[in-house]
Structures are given as structure tokens and as C-alpha cells.
Amino acid sequence: TRGSQIGMATSRLDSLFSDIGPSAVVVQGDTNAVAAGALAANANDIPLAHVEAGLRSFDRRMPEEHNRVIADHLSDLCLAATPLNVEHLRNEGIPTDRIAMTGNPVIEAVERLLPNPNEQDEILQAYGVERNGFVLSTFHRPENVDDPATLRSILEALRDLDAPVLLPLHPRTQARIGEYDLSDAAGTIRIVDPIGYRDFIGLGASSLLIVSDSGGVQEEVSVLKRPSVVVRRSTERQEVEGTFVTRVVPGPDLVPTLEAALSTADDRHRELMSVPSPFGDSTSPHQIVDAIRSMVDEA
């Protein structure tokens, strides 16, 4: 359970931090491990920095929302990616001297790790898809995969698209398809095992459209300049809605939204080439390191 995960991780990190006495603890994102790292650092009175601070979906049904709020309010340094993230932190009463806007290191990561065009061709060949001729998809969030009717509607919508769909399947989703007997709904979708990061962003850069419920994909498409449809009730990355991201809630709007996005994908890709990412640039990791060093020096 989530509670036992956070409890076990906090206990083990508490022991580790006590043994090694780090100068600082850095947590990134909004996972259960982030909440545990923040709690353990606080328990040991160790300076804490949170990368990706200030993201808010304002959807308290999301475990991630609670994890990032915990991390932000315990942090000595909130490393925010965008002005909107800074605004969220200030609205919650976090002092300005505990906030630094640094961009998000995902920009540098994608730019550095993106396979070159020749490598992308090899990846496309390995997965049996053609450049600008397929839809790349991922799904893993409980709101989408833990309800049989919702998962069926998503699979059927992908199956019926007028383009091949490549679906690297998260183990959680794979288990649910079997548990709910939804193999028929998947139909002709090309389901493959989880894909390494370089191959995934190489496929993303070569795809016609990306359909997902991932948070990270919403950032990555701002570098890849590919249109995406995010199937979720809410998002903590409002900066890309209306440009790189079209968000839709599972239901009657899902199929028409996907069909419209697919039919305009070529034009959207060309338009997005001139749209800068709102998440900063490749200097973000250096800004983050400098801010952490300043925090440690002042501690």
C-alpha cells in the first residue's frame, strides 16, 4: 500500500541519513519516494531541496498531489520550473527566499539523450513502424487502468484510430488487461514491453501523435515538438495545455478528440516547431546545482 511504501522508505532513509550525514538531500518529482525522502531529511534536520517544486493539479484525488505538497512545505529550497510553479508556492505561503526558478532538467535530458536521425531509423525498424506514420501511447494511472469500463474505452479508442498504435505497456496496465479480460478491446494495437528512455523519446520524436496519461511526456513533447493528447481528469502542467497538449477526460469526448488530433497532427507538428518550451532550457541542471550549493553554504 501507499502508506506502507512511504513508511518503509522513510524508516530506511532515516537510518541511511543518520549513518552518512549528507550535507543536503535532493528529491525530484512527486512519487512516494519523494515524500519519504522529504520526511526523513526533515527528521534528521538535513537541508532539503525539491526539484519540480510548485506543480499543482488541484486534484486531491491524486496521490502525487499530496506527495509534492509535503515535499514543498518541508523543503528549505523549492526549485520551481516555471513562473506558474513559483506563483503556486507563493500562494501557499512559502517564503520567497526558499524559492528559486530554475527550469526543469528534463529539457537538457531530452536534448542530450535524443537519438540522432540514423539511430531513430533503427529504432523505428526494430518496432516495425514508419516515421510520421504511427501513434505512440502509454497508460499507467489508476484513474485510467483500475476501472474496467474506462480502460476498455481507452483501448477501443486507440484500436479504432486510422493509424498504427504502438503501446509500450506498463506492468500495471498489462495486469489489468488480463484481469479484466480486455484482450479483445486491444485488437490490433501493437503492444510491446516497456521501452528504455532513449528508445522512447526517439519513437516520440518520430511519431505522428502521442497519447498518454504521463506527466513527464507532457514536458518531453515540448522538446520533441510533437502534438499529444493527455487522457486525464486534471494536469499539474497547465503551461502546455492548448499548445503541445490537448487534455481530455475519458468519456464521450475521447474518440472525437483523438480523431481530431490525428487528422491535424502534421499541421500541428509544423506549428509547434516554433513554440518554445515553457520549462526552460538546457542550463536548468547548472542552475539547480548552483542553487543547492548556495543552500548548503548557508546552512
**Residues labelled catalytic:** 140
How far apart, in whole angstroms, are the C-alpha atoms of residue 95 and residue 86?
10
- The phi-psi region of residue 128 (left if phi > 0; otherwise alpha if psi is between -120 and 50; otherwise beta) is left
Task: Please give the C-alpha separations between residue 34 and each of 99, 106, 285, in angstroms, as whole numbers.
Answer: 18, 17, 19
**Closest by alpha carbon to 35, among 1, 75, 92?**
75
Asked whether 212 and 138 are in contact (CB, 8 A), the reply is yes
What order of strands is seen across the sheet that includes strand 25-28? 25-28, 48-53, 77-80, 99-101
How far apart, in whole angstroms, are the C-alpha atoms of residue 205 and residue 26?
30
Q: How many Cβ atoms from other residues are within 10 Å of residue 251's Cβ?
A: 11
Q: How many Cβ atoms from other residues are within 10 Å of residue 65's Cβ?
A: 18
**What value, to the nearest 5°, has the Cα angle with vertex 91 and ends 90 and 92?**
90
Asked whether 196 and 249 are in contact (CB, 8 A), the reply is no
Measured distance between the N- and C-terminal CA atoms of the chain, rounded to whole angstroms: 35
